[in-house]
A and B are shown apart, each in its own frame.
Chain A
Amino acid sequence: MTDTIEKRLGTLFWVAVGWLAVISLLAIFAPLLPIKDPDAYYLVKGVRPPYSPSGTHWFGTDQDARDMFARTIYGARVSLVIGFVAIAFGMLVGGTAGIIAGYLRGRTDKLISFIFIVFLSFPSLVLAILITALLDRGLVTIALTLGVLAVAPVGRLARASTLSFAEREFVTAARAIGAGDRRIIIRELLPNVVVPMGALALLGMAVAIVAEGGLAFLGLSVEKGSTWGKLILFGAGSRELEKSPWIAFGPIIILFITVLALNYAGDRIRSYFDVKEIGL
């Protein structure tokens, strides 16, 4: 059985998952790791930063002589957390709403769908900027804002999935033996809907991380602390790119690989389960 799965999912899939595991572990255990302090200024007297990559500073330093490798690892903490919370919120709220809409149909469905469409038509970045600018820029606000933006796409998928499953024989069968709505939703639909949503979770997390980066580029990400977006912004000025490109490119590479891994893994899971469906 494991062989079949592996053959379908592919070794590259496991490489991607491996990377994600590594980056998550690094992020979680960052304070315990023997890496430099991300906030410390490693000024060498008489030599003005930024210092290029070397044995002491693997990713070099930024204009203030702070170690870029450490900053990138610590940046992962915030970026990954935001991505995770955002998509978790989206799945919780959006998924629930979508399943309910898809199952109950009728007016509830119309209402919920309408709300989804409103949010989908609203230029999402503008909404994010609006909320963060008017409220505050704490970690929680930003994560929840992006979560709110995730609700509609997730919900729409959940609804579509539910719609397609709700007509299936096992649901009609369950209803025939007298199972209540709630039981049907939880025991029959949910397990099936969760699978495509799982794939979406990975893809959604990638989107959320990128969205946070976008906010950072407009100067609207978390006020204190580093995120990948902020780190890249600090390194993205014309002068920095010309003289010290490593400041931006260290985080860009790590961000890109992570987003790539998330996209790839999500994609593989989706096609794997699709294929499996056809096989049924």
Chain B
Amino acid sequence: MRSSSSHRPFRRLGAVLATAGLVVTACGGSDDSEPAAEPAAESASEPASEPAEEPAGDDTLGETETDVTLPPDDDADSIFGGTLRYGLEADVNGLNPTSSALAASGLMMANAVYDTLAVYDENDVSTPHLAESFTPNDTLTTWTMKLREGITFHDGTPLNAEAVLVNFNAQRGDPLVGLAIMPFFPADDTAAIAVDDLTIEFNVNFPIADFGSILTGQLGMVASPTWIAAAKEDPTLNQAPVGTGPFVFDSRSEDSVTRFVRNEEWWGGDVYLDAVEFYPVTDGDDRNSLLFNGDLDALHTTNQASILDLVDNADYQTIIDDTGEESYAMMNTAIPPFDDIRARQALAHATPIEEYVELIGLGVSRRATQRFTPESINYNPDLVQVGNDPDTAVALVAEYCEERGEETNPLLGTTTCTDGKINVELQWSGPSVVQTRIAELLDEAWSVGFNVTFQELPQDAHVLQTAIGQYNVNTWRQFGAVDVWTDNVWLLCATINPAGLSLNWPRNCDEDRDALLFQATAMSDLEARAEVLKQAEALINEAFTYVFFTHTTWVNSFADNVRGVCDHTSAGGERMRCAVSGRTWFSKVWIE
């Protein structure tokens, strides 16, 4: 079966995903993403204590828009002082943007200590932040970035083009992080050139209308080059980051608490909070209890049951955002059986999406048919996600097995079909109770046409197996980019590497789709761009590589006395998008 070499853990791939401005948690499924070993029950079961007659509908958040922001607080009331205690879903191994795996939790902490070159405004368009401006050439293939003057890192090193280049090249050199930005930049030194002390010229491989958006996440974080060099020598320094941000690193105890204190000389203005402390609490229910007890002032979560408790509670300010990632089952088209579209269609038709939405989504997460929510301008209303159709599935399986049943499934070492059913391996990341429940739910429905073998792996190993194409079908979570083009990396032909690591996880190449995506990337007219994206989305739908379940719901919840939650602004004074995939900013937060 599986040789020991396939059990290779894969660290820091998350950084790859995060670098493109996305949220990582590439472990799939709709519970809080956990690091390896979350043994106690991490479940998303419902909390309704009413008698059995109560219809489930009352618990849903409904199909209405989710509240992605809070009304502004009057800055005049702001008080200096206080410590914000934030509960996170996981801890991180280190906080070095050039080499650490930063998932939602890590990015949240990074938001305190680093600034990004650009940020998203309320209209989901990037606006310069640490940088002063971005100027393209006529063909949108060269972008000149000008930095602000007079900014220094926490250790006194000045922020200049040299510093940015150190960061940029370090990230490109990292085998994982570099993989995510490889498609966008030429491989040589022309990718980024320092024109003068405060100006850098970026050259990209294809026209990009909103270049700044790739610099709103991990790739845009700038750490002190002095510190980067020191951390190379002494890797323990990765735990003690040095940036330009509103808070300075104070202390850290892994798995327990990371503390940042006010940067008195922050270039962006006054910082009200004395300190921000981050507490990793992997169990969603525990995190909620700590918030309700007053042991935490804020938290983020994707755990549906926890979300229901938070939304019902008027004492807390809650931001609900499901415009980010989607949860889905994903198939590998590079090896049998899913190299055949009939097998993929069969799996899709057999998938119990309604039960998933009901039992796992708990009325909190909305059913998804594509990467966009119905409110999005890019939403294609004609697309349908098939499922709950065992009859069609059985027919397709019969057709496939008749013709190709004698081939070999290289993963399992068996024939593709046995006894008229297709043999597949379902992989997921655990240990996790919710993930196991999902696997069992899928298996039960897929069993009409498939013989499903289970393979639960620790998160790192799971991501690696997926990246090297050693899976048939798995449960996954992706596509959280605010600006759509940064998600291209998961879809392009160029990011398929037949021999090695491939970010196009399903390894599905469609040149027409690529053309549409590139076209959309170069368009600044959002309406026109939407039309192109809808066509691309249709092609994704027709490929049957994903079986979409739900839009992941990220919730950030704050105690009532925490103010200014959504008031962070870019350096240019634009109000920023409040939360991006579960992370918020703290520059304008104060505590009453």
* A interface with B by C-beta (< 8 Å): 39-41, 43-44, 46-52, 63-65, 134, 136-137, 217-220, 223-224, 233-240, 243-244
Contact = CB atoms under 8 A, between A and B. Distances in A.
A46 B43 contact: no
B41 A236 contact: yes
Which of A46, A220, A235, A244 counts the most B-chain CB atoms under 10 A from its CB? A46
A46 B37 contact: no
B52 A63 contact: no
A50 B432 CA distance: 19
A237 B38 CA distance: 12
Secondary structure at chain A's binding surface: helix, strand, loop or mixed? loop
Interface of B: 1-2, 4, 7, 37-49, 52-57, 59, 283, 285-286, 289, 305, 355, 358-359, 362-363, 430-433, 436-437, 440-441, 443-444, 453-456
Contacts of A44: 52
A43 B355 CA distance: 9
A43 B55 CA distance: 12
Contacts of B355: 41, 43
Contact of A239 (B38, B39, B45, B359): B45
A145 B52 CA distance: 44
Closest 4 CB pairs of A and B: A219-B431, A237-B41, A63-B45, A223-B454
Contacts, number: 106
Contacts of B363: 48
B456 A63 contact: no
A237 B46 CA distance: 12
B444 A39 contact: yes
B431 A46 contact: no
A223 B41 contact: no
A240 B41 CA distance: 9
Contact of B362 (A41, A48, A137): A48
A40 to B, nearest CB: 7
Contact of B52 (A51, A219, A240): A51
Contacts of A46: 55-57
A178 B11 CA distance: 67
A58 to B, nearest CB: 16
A44 to B, nearest CB: 8
A48 B437 contact: no
Given A223-B455, A237-B285, A64 B43 contact: no
Nearest to A238: B285
Contact of B359 (A47, A51, A63, A134): A63
A53 to B, nearest CB: 12
A235 B437 CA distance: 12
Contacts of A41: 355, 359, 441, 444
Given A63-B359, A218-B431, A224-B454, A136 B45 contact: no
Contact of B431 (A40, A43, A220, A224): A220
B444 to A, nearest CB: 5
B455 A47 contact: no
Contacts of B52: 44, 47, 51-52
A48 B360 CA distance: 11
A64 B441 contact: yes
A41 B432 CA distance: 20
A141 to B, nearest CB: 11
Given A136-B1, A233-B433, A219 B39 contact: yes
Nearest to B352: A41
Contact of A48 (B56, B289, B440): B56
Contacts of B454: 223-224
A232 B289 CA distance: 22
Contacts of A43: 355, 358-359
A64 B444 CA distance: 12
Nearest to B41: A237
Contacts of A240: 41, 43, 45
Contacts of A243: 45, 47-49
A49 B431 contact: no
B319 to A, nearest CB: 22
25 contacts: A39-B440, A39-B444, A43-B355, A43-B359, A47-B53, A48-B362, A63-B46, A64-B437, A64-B441, A134-B4, A136-B2, A219-B430, A219-B456, A224-B443, A233-B41, A234-B41, A234-B43, A234-B433, A234-B436, A236-B41, A237-B42, A238-B41, A239-B43, A239-B305, A243-B45
A237 B43 contact: yes
A234 B437 contact: yes
Contacts of B44: 63
A39 B355 CA distance: 14
A243 B42 CA distance: 15
Nearest to B44: A63
Contacts of B430: 219
Given A63-B44, A134-B7, A223-B456, 16 more contacts: A41-B355, A41-B359, A43-B355, A44-B52, A47-B53, A47-B56, A48-B56, A49-B45, A50-B45, A63-B46, A134-B4, A217-B40, A236-B40, A237-B433, A239-B45, A243-B48
Contacts of A237: 40-43, 45, 283, 285, 433
Contacts of A47: 52-56
A43 B456 CA distance: 26
Which of B43, B44, B305, B355 counts the most A-chain CB atoms under 10 A from its CB?
A: B43
A39 B446 CA distance: 13
A217 B39 contact: yes
